[in-house]
Structure 1
Amino acid sequence: MVAITFGADQAIMTRDIKRQRYQFDLAALQRLAAVNYAALTKLVKQIKQGSEKLIKVGSHLHFRVAVVQRAPYTTDIRIQQHALQTKLPGLVETELEVRLYHDAQLAEVTRSQNVQRLAAVYTQPNPAMHQRNEKFQVNQFLQEWLELIREQGLVAEY
């Protein structure tokens, strides 16, 4: 509650300030997962299990995309971002693991920076300091990576 008090002849204004509760948007997460699935299936369709693709983005950055496991209804992928030069200020080398669900045609980040099983919503504050919508943000980050790879990446097989 906020209370503003003025002099004796002026009005006192009081109002409640309520923090809006975060509403998880499942439809938005599924749309994002469908977009990521479409991009990833194009990227990994010819990578064999245990193999990887190296994708260079500019002269300073590359991504390693590896197929960890293929099953009839799922494919597990690991994507790692690395600097080609040792000194890129502010760059954190990042790794994501993604599961493709072929029957639903959705892709979900299952591990990010050694954090597995991201919850859809986190209460605030929480011990791990996750954002309320951490799962959505990590999947959105994957989408941004995939756009960067699609627009600027040069592919080499390894």
Structure 2
Amino acid sequence: MRKMGYKVDLVNQQAVCEANYFRLCKLLPGDTDDLRRIAVSQGNYQGILTLKVVERCKYTSVISLIHDAEWGEWAVTPLMSVRVYHDVQMAEVISVQKQRHFAAKYSYPNPHMFHPDEKAQLNRFLADWLAFCLEQGHLYEPVTLSS
């Protein structure tokens, strides 16, 4: 029996991108805030998510998400760029670890060994990550001591 290939579920992908838009709006509210740091912790895990607006246009923005955590040398700190479409209220991953331009569907195997649904997985990862930050996060404000 032949295995069925991956089919893009456009409705589901749009729903994930819409939810990501609203999660990002909660984490980075307003049209003038270009930087927000969110501290997250659960159990022994502690990290800081930095959201930085790197491009702001009339209908779109690009937000860089950098997750700083004490994971040691065994794990790479996630670095992600997200394009926010304000007119249609959607947000999608456009780069991860400086890798750009993800296709909606890949044949498998492929030269980069991407999953057939790589783009969908990246947007679902973003959804999980943002949901975790909304549930467990709080604003990170460094304390300055005055003399």
Task: Look up the equivalent residue of 1:112 and give its one-letter code.
Answer: V
* Identical columns (%): 35
Q: Deviations over 1:60-96 (max 9, x none)?
A: 211111011111100110001111x363x75430011
1:80 correspondence with 2:63: no
Give the superposition deviation at 1:47. Answer: 6.8
Corresponding residue of 1:54: 37
Structure 2: distance between partners of 1:29 and 1:52 = 27
Corresponding residue of 1:40: 24
Corresponding residue of 1:65: 51
Work out whether residues 66 and 78 of structure 1, in 8 Å CA contact, stay in contact via their aligned partners in 2.
yes
Work out whether residues 78 and 98 of structure 1, in 8 Å CA contact, stay in contact via their aligned partners in 2.
yes
Corresponding residue of 1:18: 2
Give the superposition deviation at 1:154. Answer: 1.2
Structure 2: distance between partners of 1:157 and 1:128 = 39
Gaps of 5+ in 1: 1-16
Gaps of 5+ in 2: 143-147
Q: Deviations over 1:24-77 (max 9, x none)?
A: 11111001000001111122223746x421111116211111011111100110
Runs of 4+ with deviation above 6 angstroms:
none
Corresponding residue of 1:7: none
Larger Rg: 1
Work out whether residues 104 and 119 of structure 2, in 8 Å CA contact, stay in contact via their aligned partners in 1.
yes
Corresponding residue of 1:96: 80
For normalisation by structure 2, the TM-score amounts to 0.86
> Tell me, what secondary structure is at the counterpart of 2:138?
strand
Structure 1: distance between partners of 2:128 and 2:21 = 13
Structure 1: distance between partners of 2:26 and 2:135 = 14
For normalisation by structure 1, the TM-score amounts to 0.81
Equivalent pairs, count: 139
Alignment RMSD (CA, Å): 1.9
Change (3 A) 1:70 1:82: same
Structure 1: distance between partners of 2:117 and 2:56 = 29
